Amino acid sequence: MKNIEKAYIRIELGTATWNEDLSSSGEQDILDEGIECYAEDVYELIYDGYNISEEKLKMILDEHDNSDNMLYPLDCFEDLSYADWLEYRADRKADERDEKMAIFNTINYTGVCNCNRTNCEIC
């Protein structure tokens, strides 16, 4: 049984403290078992936003042997790189630009937007 599962049961039994036991138990499970992932999944989360400096982002993606790097439990840890992140970001921006242009071209051709988005920037 995972530590986090034991913590949930202990909470229900009234023998554990919610925040302290769940937090430390979940963290220990992650450190023991790792986190299944693909590099693209990590890049997608980064693309969704981050609140660290670009230097820190570069460090956690490139410096795998840095003791400050807390991504080591990720199964895909060794596959991460800052250069690959920059390529992923450029590809995503190009895809979004192409999607906007396709919608824009549809509007210009038909006069109707079919993107079905609320507050569409194009239409």
Q: Are residues 53 and 28 in the same domain?
A: no
Q: What pLDDT is stored for residue 120 in this prediction?
A: 63
Mean pLDDT rounded to a whole number for the chain = 82
> How many domains is the chain partitioned into structurally?
2
3-class DSSP state of 53: coil
pLDDT tens column, 60-88:
999 988 888 878 888 899 999 999 999 99
Q: What pLDDT is stored for residue 62 in this prediction?
A: 94
Domain that holds residue 94: 35-123
pLDDT tens column, 78-118:
999 999 999 999 999 999 999 888 877 766 665 556 666 66
Q: Are residues 61 and 76 in the same domain?
A: yes
Q: Are residues 15 and 61 in the same domain?
A: no
Q: Are residues 21 and 79 in the same domain?
A: no
pLDDT tens column, 8-50:
777 767 777 777 777 888 888 888 888 888 999 999 999 999 8
Q: What share of the chain is helix, strand, coil (3-state, %, to 5)?
A: 65, 0, 35
Say if residues 67 and 33 touch (Cβ distance below 8 Å).
Answer: no
